[in-house]
Structure 1
Amino acid sequence: MSERAPRGVRSDYVRFVALTTRWADNDAYGHVNNVVYYALIDTAVNQLLIQAGLLDVTSGAVIGVAAESGCRHHASAAYPDVIHAGVRVGRVGTSSIRYEVGLFRNDEDQACAEGFFVHVMVARQTMRPVEIPAGLRGFVERLAR
């Protein structure tokens, strides 16, 4: 059996987005429920893309559709933690991008969770894969490690 990879640290990631937890994110055990980590990962990536002017969620001709995702949990977060989502890009293909995200509680240097998801860029009208637009490609290549 292989050893588990060590927890990521902040310096492993290129860009950061601060996200606040909400009271409703806590579950009956008093910590952020596992599905919330996926929402934090998705929000961090899309927030970066929207802020860069590269994603128009309501009327853009090209959108990203999540094709695959995963998350490893290392430690619990709970409301009212502030989560600093570190984002990097693991792979850029012809029509797909693999985003990797480390979630860090408050000022901690080690990730409480690390996840990924793969966006496949599709034409909104046909929902068929298209090449990554040039502006988006340039942006995500700068996030690659």
Structure 2
Amino acid sequence: MTRPTPTSLSDYGLHRHVPTRWSDNDIYGHMNNVTHYMLFDTAINGWLIEAGLLDLDDGDPIGLVVETGCHFHGPAAFPDQITAGIGVERIGRSSVSYRVGLFRNSEETSFADGRFVHVYVDRLARRPMPLSERWRQELGKLIS
């Protein structure tokens, strides 16, 4: 198996700062692996909210995570300052495949690279619903 190459911050058109917390460190003194997935989720959903696409209280659609993955390249820990680079790999009828690179402090090379797939569903029925043209336009800006 070949080890994936870390990405560069310049590989991403959108950068979001996501804080680390004391509780992110594990007994080994570095960020616990589950925290990487929380950072992916926080970065993507934070952007969706700021872009006016996701309304947490009563909007439609909502995104359900159906697939995740992460390649770990190096450690991070509190109090590191994390930048998440966000890109879109694919926009489907009702799904979006995101890629996220995590960068610590002022480093230009990722310490982790992830893949995150949302299926967007009707809030009540929880059935997939097609993405609107507005969603497609905003997400299209992040295709890389």
User: What corresponds to 1:106 in structure 2?
Assistant: 105
How far apart in 2 are the matches of 1:31 and 1:55?
A: 32
User: What corresponds to 2:15 in structure 1?
Assistant: 16
Alignment of 1:62-77 (within 5 A): 62-77=61-76
User: What corresponds to 1:49 in structure 2?
Assistant: 48
User: What corresponds to 2:115 in structure 1?
Assistant: 116
Runs of 4 or more consecutive aligned structure 1 residues displaced over 3 Å after TM superposition:
none
Shift of 1:137: 1.0
* TM-score (structure 1 length as normaliser): 0.97
User: What corresponds to 2:138 in structure 1?
Assistant: 139
How far apart in 1 are the matches of 2:70 and 2:93?
A: 24
How far apart in 2 are the matches of 1:20 and 1:34?
A: 15
Aligned residues: 144
The percent of aligned pairs where both chains have the same amino acid is 48
CA RMSD after TM alignment: 0.8
How far apart in 2 are the matches of 1:51 and 1:116?
A: 21
Indicate yes or no: 2:93 matched with 1:90: no
Which residue identity does 2:56 align to in structure 1?
Answer: V
Listed as ranges, the gaps of 5+ residues in structure 2 are none
How far apart in 2 are the matches of 1:120 and 1:93?
A: 9
* TM-score (structure 2 length as normaliser): 0.97
How far apart in 1 are the matches of 2:100 and 2:25?
A: 21
Give a deviation string over 1:74-121, Cα, whole Å, max 9, x none: 000011001000000000111110010000001000000000111101
Residue aligned with 2:109, SS:
coil
How far apart in 2 are the matches of 1:126 and 1:35?
A: 29
User: What corresponds to 1:6 in structure 2?
Assistant: 5
Alignment of 1:32-47 (within 5 A): 32-47=31-46
Shift of 1:61: 2.1
